Amino acid sequence: MRYTALVAALVLMSVIGGVSGAVGMHRLDQAATGWTSPAGPMNVPAVVAAVQPAVMRIEVTVSAGRMAGSGIVLTPTGDLVTNAHVMQDATAARLTGLNGTYTARVVAKSPADDLAWLHIDDASGLPVARLGDSGAVRVGEDVVAIGNGLDLAGAPSVTRGIVSALGRSTDSLDGLIQTDAAISSGNSGGALVDPTGAVIGITSEAAVGNPSTTTENIGFVIPSARVVSVLRGLGLAVPGG
């Protein structure tokens, strides 16, 4: 009986010691890296409900034909951002959102940054998106992409993924966020959103393989910090980033 009690006591002490060690290691790791445990799983429906009304479908007629993309409303008086490659040589666009259809004009573009500023005249009370801090984004963070994927009729499409890498470069842009959230034709100019509902980037392009390679779930996003910097340089006083 004494032997059994002694063994039980030793096992209990070992378990307590193991738990204490694990907690201690967690605290050391937290102190060394600044890492904190996540508050909980991403509430995708809540994030979508907060951001989707501010994402619009864009249709334009350009010299090469018809283009479709996405745009994000940044001010209640009708200022939006999209990709410059969506607009190409167009000077106006037809916008469709959850709250109606509008005509927007191009105010300014920065093709080198693949960004364009659009404005809806005489607009008021539009739902807006909140630009977040892309500098705080971490690899592995949950995200959702919201945009006009494949130019399908109805509400914007929503896809889910993570931040796959930071500081990526393509043939035309650098310093991009990489994500595995599905990005399709029509998503260009749409939103990449973090668990707080903040837009941390503007979806720009998806990687396309050549006949000798296969690519899946590799999309590139312009960080919100650059979006804010470029728009401010063009003359739009936009908060965030």
* Residues annotated catalytic, as ranges: 85, 114, 188
How long is the chain? 241
Burial of 116 (C-beta count, 10 Å sphere; 0-12/13-18/19+): buried
Give all strands (DSSP E) within 84-138, no chain letters: 92-97, 100-110, 115-119
Q: Residue 234 contacts by C-beta under 8 Å, 6 or more apart in sequence?
A: 107, 108, 110, 117
On whether the CB atoms of residues 88 and 64 are closer than 8 A, the answer is: yes
CA neighbor of 85 nearest in space, from 61, 56, 46, 111: 111
